[in-house]
Amino acid sequence: MSNLAQMLQAPGMSIEADGDFDAVNAMVMEKGWGDGLPVVPPTEERVAAMLEYCDRPWDQPIAKIPPRWGEATPLRLAANAVMAGCEPRYFPLYMLAIEAMCEEPLNLYGVQATTHLCAPLVIVNGPVAKELNVNGGHNAFGPGHRANATIGRAIRLALLNIGGAIPALGDMSTFGSPAKYSYLVAENEAENPWEPLHVERGLPREASAVTVIGAECLHNVNDHESLDGEGVLTTIAGTMCTTGSNDVYYKAQPLVIMAPEHAKAVAAQFSKAEAKRFLYQHATLPVGRFSKDNIERRIKVTFKDRLANPKSEDLMYAVQKPEDILLAVIGGAGKHSAFVPTFGATLPVTRALKTADGRLAKSVEDFRRR
């Protein structure tokens, strides 16, 4: 008997079900184990194939997912990955994303349970993005690439089934968001004129990595008219600061995305650090644009050292310092950028793909059981 078969014999670890696709999906929906879309039945054979790419003990949790604080064991994650339609070779990247988002700085409990409409956004960098064909080019946030769609969906299923983020029970989001189905992309490193995101955040270029952000959906920045980088940055800055953004009140680190055409124009005049400094200085709003109640109950309290008695012309900033802006290059042709606000009470987490013995993984094949 295989190790997996032995584990599945433990009480509550498996159920007998009609093998018919429609019957399995009816049961999944009845028990609240799905996201509303049909799932792939997580048979023992399919789960075993997923676990062939796992070099950790299958029954020991790699993280605990809030708000239920369910134990994310590789076995449980493998079942959710199968249900989402993942290829087995996606499994190491999927586990890394789960580990990263469960680290304290992200505040996954808040991201999961808030009335806000945020969701964990995963940006993939390094060789694994190309190896698994994770899209960072045209339509990166849209349909058409299995890795993006299914790894992102597997993350959501784990947040639901292991973490307990069930709508109106563990997940109290007022509106929800399409990003709660799947929210995973790669950076377009081939057309990035600066260092890629994971290198900026302290990892070697050869590392494969994820950066996880407690994020809203993208807010498009359309600028087909600016003829230079300063113009593009001015337009982006004008999109970043709004009276209803959580980031205005927190030590948040929102994301600016530039498609390659905008990035090229900006990089001709600005280093990445200089671009961030420009955005910080220009992404502002006068205090007078905020409601009197927000001024009294938020601004005066949060910024009591600077704005205890604010004038209407005093400035509020989209971020508290230039370094708080994350900047990534994603997307295809077109003179567009995007701004991705956050939950506010959250900080991004970047982690490298490593084998169980702590080595940087050169390939997902490093995780395959021999």
Whether 178 contacts 37, CB under 8 Å = no
Buried b (16+ CB within 10 A) or exposed e, 255-268: bbbbbbbbbbbbbe
Rounded distance, CA 90 to CA 187, Å? Answer: 17
pLDDT value at 18 more than 90: no
CA angle 141, 147, 149 (to 5 degrees): 50
Residue 294 three-state SS:
helix
pLDDT of residue 369: 84
Q: Are 85 and 177 in contact (CB under 8 A)?
A: no
Categorize the per-residue pLDDT at 148 as very low, low, confident or very high, splitting at 50, 70 and 90. Answer: very high
| Model pTM score | 0.95
The residue type at 303: F
| pLDDT of amino acid 10 | 60
Task: Write the pLDDT tens digit of every residue in 285-310.
Answer: 999 999 999 999 999 999 999 999 99
Residues 335 and 261: beta-carbon distance below 8 Å? yes
Across the chain, what does the average pLDDT equal?
95
- CA-nearest of 153, 145, 247, 137 to 186 is 137
Q: Is the per-residue pLDDT at 163 higher than 60?
A: yes
Q: Given the structure tokens 């008219």, which residue do they identify? A: 225
- pLDDT tens digit string along 271-289? 999 999 999 999 999 999 9
User: Is there a cis peptide before residue 67, judged by omega within 30 degrees of 0?
Assistant: yes
Instruction: Read off the pLDDT of residues 216-275 as tens digits, 9 standing for 90 and up.
Output: 999 999 999 999 999 999 999 999 999 999 999 999 999 999 999 999 999 999 999 999
Q: What is the DSSP letter of 15?
A: -
**What is residue 1's predicted lDDT score, i.e. its pLDDT?**
46
Q: Report whether pLDDT(211) > 50.
A: yes
In this prediction, residues 48-75 reach a mean pLDDT of 97
Angle subtended at Cα 316 by Cα 271 and Cα 213, rounded to the nearest 5 degrees: 60
Both tokens of 69, joined, read 């604080």
Q: Is the pLDDT of residue 178 over 60?
A: yes
Which tens digit of pLDDT belongs to each residue from 63-106? 999 999 999 999 999 999 999 999 999 999 999 999 999 999 99
DSSP at 48: H
- Residue 178, preceding peptide bond in cis (omega within 30° of 0): no
Answer positive or negative: Cα dihedral of 317, 176, 211, 122. negative
210-248 in b/e burial notation, b at 16+ Cβ within 10 A? bbbbbbbbbbebebeebeebbebbbbbbebbbbeebbbb
User: In terms of Cα–Cα distance, which of 249, 245, 263, 231 is closest to 327?
Assistant: 263
Q: In this model, does residue 205 exceed pLDDT 90? A: yes
